[in-house]
Amino acid sequence: MRITPGMLRDNLLYNLNRTLADMEKSQEMLSNGKALTKPSDDPVKLLRAMKYRSDITQGEQYQRNLDDGLNWLNTTDTALGELSDLLQRVKELTVYGANSSLPQESLNSIAEEIRQIKEQVGVVANTQFAGKYIFGGTEVDKQPWDGTAWQGNNSGVYFEIGNNIKVQVNTLGSPLFTDVINTLDQIINHLTAGNVSALSSDLGSLDNNLNSVLAARADVGARTNRLELMQNRLLAQLESEKELLSKTEDADIAATIIDLKNQENVYRSALAVGARILPPTLVDFLR
């Protein structure tokens, strides 16, 4: 087969263009730090990277849900702790009021303090997290306790913390707070009426209220522990997925620099060889 000058020229130009394309790709990899710059680079790796990125995005949303859930539960626990302290104070006052030797004036003073505590119980019932009322069920945008009646419902608020995994973050306030308020009303009525003998029964109701608050806090603690375990697991999973994504799509900078230097050397060598194989007349013309 006869090799013509035109064939040599075409082959030279083809190799030069291919080397230039390789240099361009290496420069792009160095500029953005990514080994995958377009789908044709490696379709399999690209699909894998897209899957990792999608999983990371979803995982970060779960992480935000977990953070919100934990903050909601912590707010609930703080509120229930305050409610427990208020009931303990009511119990102290009721025990003191049960002393039959106290004059009615003293009983009225005790009743007034418990009335003020009842107002604070209403404030606790209307506790909010991120602008949402935490004890009103799914009625998160309106006060569950309006001062006279309970306005919330008994529906659970659920956060998605994993693939098909949801956890209830709210504590139902209706049975808890309405029972407490009813007990306080009874104590106030008995004190103002001077019916100290009925306070013994009221103390039993208070103990039941305190036990209910204790049980609610235990439930909140159990859910908090679960969310913390899920959070630690998810953090480890996200770290692993980000590492896999980096290995899949990130460029090896040191290796890419070496490749670019080699490509530049190949390009210069090709130019030098081309200058020798092109016809002298053409070389002279180009000069």
Tens of pLDDT, residues 80-126? 999 999 999 999 999 999 987 899 999 999 999 999 999 999 999 99
pLDDT at 245: 73
The CA-atom distances, in angstroms, between 264 and each of 4, 26, 106, 182, 253 are 28, 11, 98, 86, 16
Whether 141 and 266 map to the same domain: the answer is no
The confidence band for 244, taking pLDDT boundaries of 50, 70 and 90, is confident
- Check residue 111 and give its pLDDT: 97
DSSP 8-state code for residue 41 = G
Same domain, 262 and 165: no
**Does residue 33 sit within a domain?**
no
- Note whether residue 111 is domain-resident: yes
Do both 225 and 257 map to the same domain?
Answer: no
Q: Is the pLDDT of residue 8 over 90?
A: no
The total number of structural domains in the chain stands at 2
pLDDT for the residue 166: 95
pLDDT at residue number 46: 74
Q: Are residues 191 and 281 in the same domain?
A: no
- pLDDT at site 283: 45
112 and 226 in a single domain? The answer is yes
Cβ(172)–Cβ(139) under 8 Å? no
Mean pLDDT in residue range 15-34: 56
- 226: in domain: yes
Could you report the per-residue pLDDT of 49-81, keeping only the tens digit for each?
788 889 999 999 999 999 999 999 999 999 999
Q: Are residues 239 and 138 in the same domain?
A: yes
| Residue 14 or 195, more confident | 195
Find the helix packing angle between 199-249 and 173-192, rounded to 10°: 160
> What tokens were used for 158?
């659920």
CATH at residue 140: 1.20.1330.10
Q: Is residue 5 part of a domain?
A: no
SS3 for 168-216, per residue?
Answer: ECCCCHHHHHHHHHHHHHHHHHHHHCCCHHHHHHHHHHHHHHHHHHHHH
Q: According to the model, what pLDDT value does residue 227 have?
A: 97
Handedness of CA 24, 30, 36, 41 (dihedral sign): positive
Q: What 3-state class would DSSP assign to 128?
A: strand
Q: Are residues 139 and 167 in the same domain?
A: yes
User: Which pLDDT value is given to residue 251?
Assistant: 54
Regarding whether 283 and 149 lie in a shared domain, the answer is: no
- Please tell me whether residues 268 and 127 are part of one structural domain: no
> Whose CA is closest to 187, among 175, 169, 201, 174?
201
> 149-205, pLDDT tens digit by residue?
999 999 999 999 999 999 999 999 999 999 999 999 999 999 999 999 999 999 999
Same domain, 71 and 201: yes
Asked if residue 202 and residue 258 are part of one domain, the reply reads no
Give CA separation, 64 vs 69, 132, 161, 164, in Å: 8, 17, 9, 16
Query: Is residue 41 domain-resident?
Result: no
Percent of the chain residues topping a pLDDT of 90: 63
Whether residues 220 and 283 fall in one domain: no
Residue 82 is part of which domain span? 51-246
